[in-house]
Amino acid sequence: MKKTVTCIVPFLNEEERISSVLSEMVKVRNINQIIAIDGGSNDNGYIKVKKFLQVKLIKLEKNIGKTETVKKGVAKNHSDYILLFDADLTNVNYLEIELVINKIINDEKIDMIIFNRKTPKLITKLNRMELLFSGERVLKRSDLIEILKTNPTGFQLETAINTYMIKNKKNIYWVQSSNINFPKIDKFGKIKGELNNLRMFWEVFKYGPLSFMFQLLFFARKQIII
């Protein structure tokens, strides 16, 4: 029986970028459902989402954090696999997504594939941040449900996923994508953007300092060429 895939796109104040991401996502032929969740925005991003009739929109009244927002989407589907995808991206390519999904749903030995974001910064390449904390990854829904039971909050979702995969000796791969992350300093301004980055890294580190260091050194070292 063919495996089913749901894409969950959490977004917060992404009026300028959400359309470009969804316009690529709706072209992906092996996605069965797309759920976009407005995590309490104060802009008109949800109006942009409504233009995509193939996309189910969930609009939350207040910001409850990325992890909790994703939980709402997970509860609304019963697919075999979940594709998590951030909304603050440029240069998204639907063919890349299609090929990655096809790879994982046809190989039971693969537990997760992470989309490594494209970055021009050497320091980011060396510390692997665009890979380890990439919001773009496809994994089994059953695993994601177990991960959410560990009660990650805020920005801790990706590091919680990584930690679970390490502890349970899951088979993880990464693939190079054309996705480019929109910097927080461009989104919020220099001071607010840097503070947002610091809060994110603190939350991630606080989830598990030893696991964080292990991830930097050893996690997701196997690459798939699509």
For helices 157-167 and 66-74, give the axis angle rounded to 10 degrees: 70
Does residue 99 fall inside a structural domain? yes
pLDDT at 121: 58
Does residue 224 fall inside a structural domain? no
Does residue 12 fall inside a structural domain? yes
Number of separate domains in the chain = 1
Q: Is the pLDDT of residue 176 over 60?
A: yes
User: The domain spanning residue 30 has which CATH number?
Assistant: 3.90.550.10
Lowest-confidence pick of 17-21, 121-125, 172-176, 202-206: 121-125
What would the pLDDT profile of 86-133 be if each residue is shown by its tens digit? Answer: 999 999 999 999 999 999 999 999 999 999 988 755 445 556 778 888
Does residue 214 fall inside a structural domain? yes
Does residue 135 fall inside a structural domain? yes
| C-alpha dihedral (106, 107, 111, 117), degrees to nearest 10 | -70
pLDDT classification of 211: cutoffs 50, 70, 90: confident
Share of the chain above pLDDT 90, in %: 65
92 three-state secondary structure = coil
pTM to 2 decimals?
0.89
Does residue 136 fall inside a structural domain? yes
Does residue 70 fall inside a structural domain? yes
Which residues form the domain of 10? Answer: 5-218
Query: How far, in Å, CA of 57 to CA of 207, rounded?
Result: 30
What would the pLDDT profile of 184-202 be if each residue is shown by its tens digit? Answer: 555 556 676 567 767 777 7
Query: Which residues does residue 38 pair with via DSSP β-bridges, in sequence order?
Result: 11, 59
Does residue 226 fall inside a structural domain? no
How many helices and strands in the chain, by DSSP H and E?
Answer: 11, 9
pLDDT at 184: 55
- Polymer length in residues for the chain: 226
* Distance from the Cα of residue 59 to its chain's centroid: 18
104, 113 Cβ separation under 8 angstroms? yes
Share of the chain above pLDDT 70, in %: 88
